[in-house]
Amino acid sequence: MWWRVTANDPVKLWPALALFVVTVPACGGSNVPAAPTAPSPTPAVVTAPATDLTITGPALVPTGSSVKYDATAVLSIGVTIYHVSGTWTTDNGTVATIDSNGILTGQGPGVATVTITYRNLSATVTVRVSDFASRPSSATANLAISFLPDPVPGSLTPLRGPLCMGAVPSWNFTEVFNETHGVGFTVKAEVVNLFREDGLLLRTSTIPEEYYFPPNSEFVEDVCTDLEESTSGFFEDVVHGIDDRGTELTFRRRVRLLPVAGATTTSSRISPGPIAPRRVTRALRRVR
């Protein structure tokens, strides 16, 4: 049977083709050999090693709650595997536990490291468990920023060790961070601005490291900076982050840098080496 197919009647093409496919083997008899079946190759994705492995999940978990963590792997052949099935562990079961499906449960306040192992790689992420119920509902972190001495007079006294080195006019002092409200605070971004005495912004330095202030904790930071050709100005620290209750907060403190007595832009410090130009040198250390 032949079907006539026209441009205005394209639907009839499919029955015709179906009939043709069905009737051709019948006309050829039983001597027509079957097409050979090629063996199924082992997919490359099964054996390819991983070149990158990352974990996604919240950094803050309330005590008693459960959250899902996922991992994504990139293989050497360029394939990305989402929701990989690996081996999940935590290093502190009193703070958090995690099952084989990546379900993490906060057991008690503290910090735990979550690890997943997949093929040839392992990845880690830090999770913080907080007991929100033990704090007043209105409480948020308070990061008090102070300086020693305050206000900061310029000083020619070098700090201990190789931290503060170079030419004057430069200043070295200690910056103190206190979390005073019993609510931990995670720093997401810290920006240091240096202003000339007349208010001109000389430069901005961004500190990309993320770090955490536990409740009622104190950190001190040794700071060394120079103001290029200016002999006085302002040092401003702007800290942005999120507290243990999930509240985004920004803290700002500015201190005036007074002229260094007897210093000129060409005078030298007694130090083992130069400070990198246009740079703020910092060293953060926890006190308690």
Give the strand pairing for 143-148 and 170-179. Answer: antiparallel
- The pair of three-digit structure tokens given for residue 92, joined into one six-digit string: 């502190």
- 98 and 231 in a common domain: no
In this structure, is residue 10 part of a structural domain? no
What is the reported pLDDT for 287? 52
Give the CA dihedral 9, 13, 14, 17, nearest 10 degrees. 170
Q: Looking at the structure, tell me whether residues 227 and 122 fall in a common domain.
A: no
Residues 129 and 174 in one domain: no
* Shared domain check, 269 and 186: yes
User: Structural domain tally of the chain?
Assistant: 2
- Could you count the other beta carbons within 10 Å of the beta carbon of residue 87? 10
pTM confidence score: 0.55
Residue 96, domain CATH: 2.60.40.1080
Backbone angles phi, psi at 3, to 5 degrees: -105, 140
Q: Which two tokens stand for residue 152?
A: 């900061």
Q: Residue 244's CB: how many other CB atoms inside 10 A? A: 27
User: Does 154 lie in the same domain as 281?
Assistant: yes
Looking at the fold, whether 158 and 252 belong to one and the same domain comes out as yes
Domain-terminating residue out of 133, 156, 177 = 133
- Within-domain flag for 227: yes
Same domain, 122 and 147: no
Task: Read off the CATH number of the domain in which 237 is found.
Answer: 2.60.40
Q: Does residue 23 form part of some domain?
A: no
Specify the pLDDT at position 34: 63
Domain boundary among 133, 154, 189: 133
Q: Would residue 122 count as lying in a domain?
A: yes
Same domain, 122 and 150: no
Q: Is the separation of the CB atoms in 255 and 285 below 8 Å? A: no
Tens of each residue's pLDDT in the chain, 288 residues: 333 333 444 433 334 333 334 344 444 445 656 666 655 555 777 888 999 999 988 777 888 889 999 999 999 998 999 999 999 999 999 999 999 999 999 998 888 999 999 999 999 988 888 776 666 667 788 888 888 766 565 554 444 444 454 455 567 778 888 888 878 888 888 999 989 888 899 888 888 777 888 888 888 887 777 776 677 788 899 999 988 877 899 999 988 887 765 555 554 443 334 444 445 656 565 554
Here the tokens at position 109 are: 């306040």
Same domain, 64 and 127: yes
Assigned domain for 217 exists? yes
Assigned domain for 269 exists: yes
Q: What is the 3-state secondary structure (H, E, C) of the chain?
A: CCCCCCCCCHHHHHHHHHHHHHHHHHHHHHHCCCCCCCCCCCCHHHHCCEEEEEEECCCEEECCCEEECEEEEEECCCCEECCCCCEEEECCCCCEEECCCCEEEECCCEEEEEEEEECCEEEEEEEEEECHHHCCCCCCCCEEEEEECCCECCCCCCCCCCCCCCECCEEEEEEEEEECCCCCEEEEEEEEEEEECCCCEEEEEEECCCEEECCCCEEEEEEEEECCCCCCEEEEEEEEEEECCCCEEEEEEEEEECCCCCCCCCCECCCCCCCCCCCEEEEEEECC
66 and 164 part of one domain: no
Question: Closest Cα to residue 259, out of 153, 150, 167?
Answer: 153
Is 4 part of any domain?
no
Q: Does residue 97 belong to any structural domain of this protein?
A: yes
Do 192 and 277 lie in one domain? The reply is yes
Q: Are residues 89 and 210 in the same domain?
A: no
Note down the domain range covering 200. Answer: 143-286
Choosing from 133, 162, 181, the residue where a domain stops is 133
